[in-house]
Copies of this chain bind each other. A is one copy, B any other.
């Protein structure tokens, strides 16, 4: 077993299954899914889809997280969202048979189940339940996109956008060992400042300055990939949307 990483080949035995929107299907459907999927494991930094490519199929992200981004012809990149385990990626492209809208890059060691486009469409038509799950995933994509639009279009300043991001991430905090410090929220951030800049639609230098400012004000502590929000309220007051 490469990577010292447990591969889950059998969906029926997957312990996450019932928590996963797209996998928590009736047994018969999962058996079918099982027969058309191909499991792979990718290291950090692997590209699952490239923006503009013809769709080959969809990826169910079993474990790990992935970054969806789009790039201008001038090389400027913007991050659309970070996909969490359980999401189905490449749906829009596969359903409408148009090129992938975004580039998908794994942020960590990840397992995926790939389903070829034609098998997926057939699967979708055979099992009505699947349609509902697909709709839910698409709904989620739309909501994320709208959040991003609000962030890009309605914010007054970069500090506000970054505060928004931090607060957003703070909604899935780490189980901090010292939960007693109730005011402190620990989160795990594996993005570089460059990537944060792409998320907020700004420049890397500005991100550095803003984070430095937050630290100086005692609102934030950064220790490696573990960031602690020390003053949530102050960040919230920065946000106007």
Residues of A within 8 A of B (CB): 70-74, 76, 78, 80, 91-92, 95-96, 98, 101-102, 124-125, 128, 131-132, 134-136, 138-143, 145-146, 148-150, 152-154, 156, 201, 240-241
Quick one: which of B70, B96, B136, B139 contacts A149, CB cutoff 8 A? B70
Bound CA–CA A156/B146 (angstroms)? 21
Quick one: which of B76, B91, B145, B154 contacts A145, CB cutoff 8 A? B145
Closest CB in chain B relative to A154 CB, distance in Å? 4
Contact between A241 and B131, CB atoms less than 8 A apart:
no
Could you say which residues of chain B place their CB within 8 Å of the CB of A70?
Answer: 146, 149-150, 154
Closest CB in chain B relative to A48 CB, distance in Å? 17
Contact between A142 and B78, CB atoms less than 8 A apart:
no
Could you say which residues of chain B place their CB within 8 Å of the CB of A143?
Answer: 92, 96, 98, 101
Contact between A153 and B201, CB atoms less than 8 A apart:
yes
Closest CB in chain B relative to A137 CB, distance in Å? 9
Bound CA–CA A230/B190 (angstroms)? 49
Contact between B150 and A153, CB atoms less than 8 A apart:
no
Contact between A142 and B76, CB atoms less than 8 A apart:
no
Could you say which residues of chain B place their CB within 8 Å of the CB of A140?
Answer: 96
Closest CB in chain B relative to A89 CB, distance in Å? 12
Listed A/B pairs (28) with beta-carbon separation below 8 Å: A70-B154, A71-B154, A72-B241, A74-B156, A76-B156, A78-B154, A91-B139, A92-B139, A92-B142, A95-B136, A95-B139, A96-B139, A96-B140, A96-B143, A125-B128, A128-B131, A131-B132, A131-B134, A131-B135, A134-B135, A135-B135, A135-B138, A138-B138, A138-B141, A145-B149, A149-B152, A152-B152, A153-B201
